[in-house]
Amino acid sequence: MQPADIREELKNRIAAAQKEIHNLEVEKDKINKELRVKLMSLSALQVVYENESKRFGEHRLPLFTGKGKSYRFAGMRLVDALAIIRQEHPEIDKRQALKILEKEGFDFKGKRHLSAVHFAWVALNRRKKR
């Protein structure tokens, strides 16, 4: 007795899985594009808010929160978020700043957190020297 040849069925299942993956990737690209637009919009609003705060003598951004999640540093570059933290807490060290960023839910984009903070910290120090 010959074993059944299931290769045709497997080809059909593979094709279906590939189609599903393609559809999900298209949807993911659309969502990522929308997310980038929203983050840019949020960043622009934060810049305007910060400028208005400075104009009225307030140099600290408030925490923007929603459903228990902080958006204080959403869309910001790490070096800009660290600059705000260091302005608020002049005696802070890197590890303390890292804890604040992690607590606030800063998006490190997959980078090693402490290393990223270190390099941004060095960049800020260079900026100050100029």
Q: What was the pLDDT predicted at 63?
A: 47
> Cα(67)–Cα(93) distance, rounded to whole angstroms?
30
Q: What was the pLDDT predicted at 119?
A: 94
Q: What is the pTM of this model?
A: 0.47
Q: What was the pLDDT predicted at 92?
A: 92
Q: What was the pLDDT predicted at 70?
A: 62
Helices (H), the chain: 7-55, 78-88, 94-103, 113-129
Picking from 56, 116, 54, the residue whose alpha carbon sits closest to that of residue 87 is 54
Q: What was the pLDDT predicted at 58?
A: 66
Q: What was the pLDDT predicted at 107?
A: 84
Q: Are 98 and 91 in contact (CB under 8 A)?
A: no
Q: What was the pLDDT predicted at 65?
A: 45
Q: What was the pLDDT predicted at 17?
A: 96
Domain boundaries, the chain: 1-59, 61-130
pLDDT in tens, 98-115: 999 988 888 888 889 999
Bridge partners, 70 (sequence order): 65
Give the residue ranges of the chain where pLDDT is below 50: 61-66
Q: What was the pLDDT predicted at 55?
A: 84
